[in-house]
Amino acid sequence: MISGFSIPVLAVGIFAYAFYQFIYYPLWASPLSKIPGPRLFAISKWRLALEDWRGKRTLVIRDLHAQYGPVVRTGPSEVSFASLSALRTIYGAGSGFERTSFYRMFDVYGHQNLFTYASVRDHAQRKKLLAHAYAKSTVLRADGLANDLIARNVRSYLDILDSENRDHSGSEHDIFESLHWFSLDTITGFLYGYSHGGTNALRGNKEDQRMLTDILDPARRKLSWVTVHIGKRYVQWLYSRTGLTERIVMALGLLPMTKPATYTAIRAHALQSYKQFETDTERADGSAAGSGHGKAALDWSTDLSILGVLHNQRLRSLADLKGKDSKTIVQGLGLASELADHFLAGIDTTSDASMFAIWALSRPENAAYQQRLVKEVTETIDAIPEALDSHGNPTSEASDRLPFLDAVLRETLRLYAPLPASEPRTMPNKDVMVDGFQIPAGTVVSMDPYTLHRNQDVFPQPLVFRPERWLGESPALGDPVEMKRWFWAFSSGARMCIGMHLAMAEMTMLLSAIYRTYDTRLNKKQGDASPGITSRFEVFSDDTSPRVLDHQCWIDFQRR
């Protein structure tokens, strides 16, 4: 029994402990207390979580850097950086920093993949298996799968535009939707091949087009917030409820996003594609064994899809190990998870960047840039022997030789990076010095492209679309060499986006083909509004536009 005297003593003790733990330690005793930043952010992780809920996290972090400098404390155990030295220290090759538990929300089928591996060793082993398939030389190969896929999809995209411009009177077109079809058909074909999961959204397949419905639902932002800040297990529990429990969950409005949740259709398609491949492989091997022949009926050695590449590596590894298993062999649901992750990563990113490039070129104030691009595409392509593919559009190699187009895309990715938010890292087992501050082991550190790309000392007129800055045509617009050091649209170091060359090939081939044939301008539905895209919890758009059209971009195409 607690005496009357001990109750106030206990209360004082609890208060003292809480004061030390949540006020005194983070503000005065923590090694991070020397780092500038708002005190409310320093004492509670929920202050930044509130900005996540509001969809303002990245903008707020940019403003904090503008106020406090290149190092800002954004949580009790979280620090944001915005300097080139920190970029090298945290994200450079061999830094030792690992991805945080945040990335585990992107596990698929209960398995980790290249994107979610925390340790440097696990990530390096997996990347080694995939690097050659994503290399620029592989992507641009004239007889390669990527080149053939993109050329085929560019032709299908132009077919859509041509069908709407039969009388040359022009047409209005929502490129947000059609560019998602383009990136969907390209990434599925690249991952699974034409016969084991490649989609045909551009060619009118309604089921393939509907696959994108759940990722375009704005409610996915709320689902992401709950997954990160409440917990992945809680979300999994909510969505696994059936019967009476499900009805109660629905009645109480506890689901962050109505079923199907984000990526449901995509993950189902990815799993079915993998299973069909495995079934065909087993059937082929069984047929070969039954016929007495030593070679399988289906020869996967010429399959250039990522699925084919990983399958061939699996066969070689198992043969070398004489049937013994190894962590270096990707198989089963681990293989399916890897492919599904690439699937998810290859849709929004490429389509959103392509959309912003076309939107920016279509703005009245950028008409001169569009004319310059049209001139470059037509004159350069005409001067290159064998510059056109069998569909009559610029090849990947020819499109890669257009310096102004490259400048347009770099400036697009600077202003409208498809993944502009923080990329968290941690040093799990030791303290480290970053920009002169001691960062204790386990502290979450991060940087974001949005803030880096708006550093006015590196990018003068940072909010203005000026592609010529990348060509060094005006010293007043910055030094191209220095700007490239700060350019972070694809991350850097060992964790740099493995699909970078595929994405660039998609964008250069599509834009060179469009502007070789069409002029574009903003449709009246778009008016002065910027298109808006979803990234995690936030909507990103052009900083200078007075309005935003979420998940829409209306463009008029006029055939020349």
Residues 6+ apart with CB under 8 A from 327: 125
Residues 6+ apart with CB under 8 A from 484: none
DSSP 8-state code for residue 500: H
Token pair 């398939």 in the structure block, residue: 133
Measured from the Cβ of residue 103, the count of other Cβ atoms closer than 10 Å reads 17
Consecutive H or E run containing 50: helix 46-54
Q: Cα dist. 433→152, 436, 440 in Å?
A: 50, 6, 9
End-to-end CA distance of the chain: 90
Q: How far apart are CA 25 and CA 7, in angstroms?
A: 25
Count helices and strands in the chain by DSSP H and E runs: 23, 13
Q: How far apart are CA 182 and CA 169, in angstroms?
A: 24
Consecutive H or E run containing 224: helix 220-229
> Alpha carbon 341 to chain centroid distance?
10
Q: How far apart are CA 254 and CA 518, in angstroms?
A: 48
Determine whether the annotation assigns residue 497 to a binding site.
yes
Residues 6+ apart with CB under 8 A from 360: 366, 369, 408, 411, 412, 415, 416, 465
487 backbone φψ class: left, alpha, beta (φ>0; ψ -120 to 50): beta
Strand 78-81 versus strand 71-75 pairing type? antiparallel
Token pair 């055939």 in the structure block, residue: 559
Q: How far apart are CA 105 and CA 233, in angstroms?
A: 10
Structure tokens at 190: 């690249």
Residues 6+ apart with CB under 8 A from 456: 462
Residues 6+ apart with CB under 8 A from 68: 36, 37
Structure tokens at 81: 């950086």
Residue 534, beta-bridge partner list: 539
Could you tell me which of 44, 50, 106, 79 has the C-alpha nearest to residue 427? 79
Residues 6+ apart with CB under 8 A from 439: 31, 32, 79, 427, 431, 432, 433, 445
Q: How far apart are CA 41 and CA 26, in angstroms?
A: 10
Q: What are phi and psi of 200, to 5 degrees?
A: -135, 45
User: Residues within the annotated binding site?
Assistant: 497
User: Residues within the annotated binding site for heme?
Assistant: 497
